[in-house]
Amino acid sequence: MSRLVRKPQLPDEHISDLERVLRSDLDGIAVPNTDPGDNYFVRLVKYVPGEVLAFFMLINAILDQAIKSGGGEATMAGIPVSMVATGAVITSCLLLTPMFCWYVREDGDAWIVNAIVSTIAFPFWAYLMGAVAFASHHDGDFAAILVLTFTAISGVISPRAAKPKAREEVVAVPKDGPRLVGALSG
């Protein structure tokens, strides 16, 4: 199973009858070359940017500790912790989330759709986790409602089906051209 949402595969229109029989299931019913992709519930899970959120949780814990020990005027390298926290949310959301989706992609993954939905999801999840950047506006009940609503809606977003790749017929021809000697001497 891929970490990212899989694109559905359209049936191959050029599949031969012999290939249909070879790809049939045990009941003898011909199965076209299709893959339905990920269903609604699998997409719900895969759109959550879990790995980036885990990294962000560590950064957020450090920033939260800095605020607790230094008060509202706490700084890191002369920069207010609230600005560092906002920068961490923006960097994790706009840079790390799409970069992670690109990095873990495999053939058949809809990594661009996954990156877009996960990037939009990131602030909702960061807000739910109590990100320091949202500390002055945080409401746990509202955060839960936002995440549940966004997650339920995000599962509806399904990537377009991938068209089957055109198959190239490769015919092995000797360097000096085709030979009929072996075919006629039998």
Q: What pLDDT digit, counting tens, does each position of 35-69 carry?
A: 678 899 999 999 999 999 999 999 999 999 999 99
Residue type (1 letter), 66: A
Q: Which residue has the higher pLDDT, 81 or 171?
A: 81
Confidence of residue 106 (pLDDT cuts 50, 70, 90): very high
The mean per-residue pLDDT over the stretch 131-151 comes to 96
- For 130-183, give the DSSP string: T-GGGGGG--HHHHHHHHHHHHHHHTT--PPPBPPPPPPP-----TT----HHH
- Cβ–Cβ < 8 Å for 48, 4: no
Least confident of 5-19, 21-35, 54-68, 119-133: 21-35
- Give percent above pLDDT 90 in the chain: 62
For residue 72, name the pLDDT band (cuts at 50, 70, 90): confident
Cβ(90)–Cβ(97) under 8 Å?
Answer: no
Question: Using 50, 70 and 90 to split pLDDT, how confident is the model at 76?
Answer: very high
Helical spans, DSSP H, in 14-159: 17-22, 40-46, 50-70, 81-91, 97-103, 111-128, 140-154
pLDDT value, residue 26: 45
For residue 30, pLDDT beyond 90: no
- Residue 174 has what pLDDT? 59
Closest to 3 measured CA to CA, from 101, 146, 112, 75 = 101
Where do the structural domains in the chain lie, given as residue ranges? 17-154
Q: Strand, coil or helix: what is 41?
A: helix
Quote the CA–CA distance of 57 and 64 in Å, as a whole number: 10
Chain centroid to CA 96: how far?
A: 13
CB-CB contact of 56 with 126 (8 Å): yes
